[in-house]
Structure 1
Amino acid sequence: MILCADIGATKTLLGLARMNGAGRIEVVASQRHVAAEVGSFDAMLDGFLRDHASHLTVPLRAACFGVAGPVKDHTVTMTNLSWHLDAAALSQRLGGIPVRLANDFEAAASGIDLLRTDQLLSLQTGQAAARAPQLVIGAGSGLGVAFRVWQASDDGQSGHYGVVTGEGGHFSFTPANDEQDRALMRLRPHVARPVAEHFVSGPGLANFYTFLDTEDSGKQVDKAPHRVATAMDTTGLTGEEVARRAMEDGEPRALHALHHFLLSYGVVAGDYALATLARGGVFLAGGIAQKLGAVMQDGRFLVGFNQKGPYADLMATIPVHVVTAPDLGLLGAAVIGTRI
């Protein structure tokens, strides 16, 4: 049995997984937790194992935790949450089993091969090239990025995708138009360095709502923003609320923010896809893509994705899919766990 987890800034999904008789990994138990509602990671983990003891019909053999933050020396201090995880301490807590800490998007990218075709919503069919690089990117509490690169076996006849991760959400933000230029200028005095995550994430949707031009009697009015939305600030305006105002209330300002969010999400994903020539496909993971999948099909995302000057025709050949499986990171953590 493998203990696995997908640990984000706002939510954590814990699970138990095993290899079934067909040689396929399956999650036999899972539970979602909201970080703000739990005392500590250790308490959450102990509670999960206690509540799901009936599923532990065989001993735990390994654990892998996908964590939203860079891994260094087998430890992670999370970027958008005040949790510190140490693989050695967790191994001791779990009876000495091997424990692997992985970046959350290393885990997500490791789960791509387990997806069924009905767990992918196609935005652009494209022409998938076998063994070509692939991009996994997802806006949520932050912006995660990982690349899948084919690694051939010694005989050259087989192989598998290896995963390259980083902190792609902290790349500098590139405005898509003059209006976004002005939004960036309003944001700049409030942050040390504006990055993609400031606009392409859940909090980023709220930032578009706050920092974009607003209209008053037909005139453009610059309103001084009072707060930059971040994953760690749960008391201000959230991207979820902006999405609700847009989707349910039809509020013009929220619809305007959503428009720019979709455009910028496409720009960022397209830039990464072009940089790596991700002809194997682009996979949009994370909760926002799942919730806005139908809206993302209206073409605004693809406008930003494909508008790459002389490479527009090339970009149109790259498949783009929304991952609708809510447990991609958990599946990927289980995959990594089986390897150790």
Structure 2
Amino acid sequence: MSSNPALPSAPFPWLLADVGGSNARFAWVAAADQAPQHIRTLAVAEYPSLLDAARAYLAGLSLGALPGGASSQPRSAALALATPVTGDQVRFTNSGWSFSQAELSAALGLERLCVLNDFEALALSLPRLRAGQWQPLGGGAPRWDLPVAVVGPGTGLGVGGLLPNAAGGKGWLALAGEGGHATLAAADDFEADLLRVARRTHAHVSAERFLSGIGLPLLYHCVAEVQGQRAVADVDAPWILERALADDDAVAVRTIETFCAMLGSFAGSVALTFGARGGLFIGGGIVPRLGARFERSAFRERFEAKGRYREYMAAIPTPLITDTLAALDGAAQALSQT
């Protein structure tokens, strides 16, 4: 997505949203050069539709969040969604929400609506990241004169890319795809056994099947079976993370170790595919929760372990995005470039 000087600026105020499978995060921008404000997170499961969630957020603004006399009626909106955006009808991959872009725009009374994939938005946020929103993790500092990419394990697994100065303009070209659904590869016999077990119930084992919030329980049970260990029957991602960080469940610990290692291999493949010599950013809500355990993990070693391309990979930074609201900045960038 690149800037187009023929188009006037999207009229303010702006409604921004970053909508995943579990949460919908909303924000407000009242004027140019203003960072997203009045951020509120709503649970997807508590609202019948995206329109209902948006109206609930806007109703909250009208109840005193905005300065006296300010209108809570947006004139423009940018929605970053955890699903492919291929036409007017949008259906979410990991929730029951669906909507028509034209109908949503009319219902909210918008003059301009920008709908994009959430990792397209996260990619657009990368050059806007401020100190405190990211931390280095090997390979030096990012370079903005080269392509960069982002991989993010959250509820699902997102992938995006970013090219500088698209078509000679002043903006950026974000590349949205569904890389999280690419086939997951094994790097050793243990991982091959994990994939063999997973294929009993999933004919296609994508990266998201293991490297995401919805995938961690499957990875946990595969690890238990391959190691011949007893597993807790009914687990979810928060339980696995909690037990692993507390070191009180051996299967959970090995699950997170395996998660970090396989994420490193997958992220390295994404960097090679995009030619992301400027950096491979790690986003999503899972990795920031791992803290020092992620830094000590095999992630970076496996990221670089690309045979003849090890030296090439060693020079690529892998910064960690610590602000889980960064995609809202990207949504604002997308709207400013429409």
Paired amino acid for 2:92? M
Q: Distance in 2 between matches of 1:152 and 1:145?
A: 19
Q: CA shift at 1:264, angstroms?
A: 0.6
Give yes or no for contact 1:74–1:100 (8 Å, CA) kept in 2: no
Q: CA shift at 1:250, angstroms?
A: 2.9
* Equivalent of 1:311 in 309, 312, 315: 309
The answer to whether 1:141 aligns with 2:139 is no
Q: Distance in 2 between matches of 1:128 and 1:140?
A: 23
Give yes or no for contact 1:17–1:26 (8 Å, CA) kept in 2: yes
2:53 counterpart residue number: 44
What's the CA shift string for 1:51-93, capped at 9, x where partnerless?
1124282552210111111112133111111111221011111
Q: Distance in 2 between matches of 1:299 and 1:256?
A: 11
Paired amino acid for 1:3? L
The aligned runs of 1:100-115 (5 Å cut-off) are 100-115=114-129
Secondary structure of the structure 2 residue equivalent to 1:197 = helix
Paired amino acid for 1:42? L
Give yes or no for contact 1:306–1:315 (8 Å, CA) kept in 2: yes
1:270 counterpart residue number: 268
1:233 counterpart residue number: none
* Equivalent of 2:180 in 169, 184, 189: 169
Q: Distance in 2 between matches of 1:276 and 1:336?
A: 21
The answer to whether 1:12 aligns with 2:24 is yes
Moved more, 73-82 or 262-271: 73-82
Give yes or no for contact 1:25–1:335 (8 Å, CA) kept in 2: no
What's the CA shift string for 1:213-266, capped at 9, x where partnerless?
458xxxx5388998xxxxxxxxx5211110101112432111111110000111
Q: CA shift at 1:39, angstroms?
A: 3.2
Paired amino acid for 1:305? F
Q: Distance in 2 between matches of 1:19 and 1:313?
A: 46
The aligned runs of 1:1-340 (5 Å cut-off) are 1-20=13-32, 24-53=33-62, 54=64, 55=66, 57-58=70-71, 59-126=73-140, 128-152=142-166, 154=168, 159-214=170-225, 220-221=227-228, 236-340=234-338
Q: Distance in 2 between matches of 1:145 and 1:70?
A: 12
Give yes or no for contact 1:145–1:169 (8 Å, CA) kept in 2: yes
User: What is the TM-score with the length of structure 1 in the denominator?
Assistant: 0.88
Cα RMSD of the aligned pairs, angstroms, is 2.2
Give yes or no for contact 2:75–2:110 (8 Å, CA) kept in 1: no
What's the CA shift string for 1:129-187, capped at 9, x where partnerless?
44111011100111100010123564xxx743210111010000101221111111111
What's the CA shift string for 1:98-147, capped at 9, x where partnerless?
21211011111111122113221111133644411101110011110001
2:5 counterpart residue number: none
Q: CA shift at 1:197, angstroms?
A: 0.3
Paired amino acid for 1:140? G
Moved more, 304-313 or 73-82: 73-82
Q: 1:6 to 1:96 in 2, by over 3 A?
A: closer
Number of residue equivalences: 321
2:8 counterpart residue number: none
Secondary structure of the structure 2 residue equivalent to 1:191 = coil
Q: Distance in 2 between matches of 1:285 and 1:271?
A: 16
Q: Distance in 1 between matches of 2:336 and 2:170?
A: 18
User: What is the TM-score with the length of structure 2 in the denominator?
Assistant: 0.88
Q: Distance in 2 between matches of 1:87 and 1:152?
A: 26
Q: 1:254 to 1:224 in 2, by over 3 A?
A: closer
Q: 1:127 to 1:96 in 2, by over 3 A?
A: closer
Q: Distance in 1 between matches of 2:95 and 2:17?
A: 16
Q: Distance in 1 between matches of 2:238 and 2:117?
A: 24
Moved more, 102-111 or 288-297: 288-297
1:229 counterpart residue number: none
Secondary structure of the structure 1 residue equivalent to 2:273 = helix
Q: 1:38 to 1:248 in 2, by over 3 A?
A: farther
Secondary structure of the structure 2 residue equivalent to 1:118 = coil
Paired amino acid for 2:294? M
Paired amino acid for 2:192? D
Relative to total residues, which structure has the larger strand share, 1 or 2?
1
Secondary structure of the structure 1 residue equivalent to 2:238 = helix
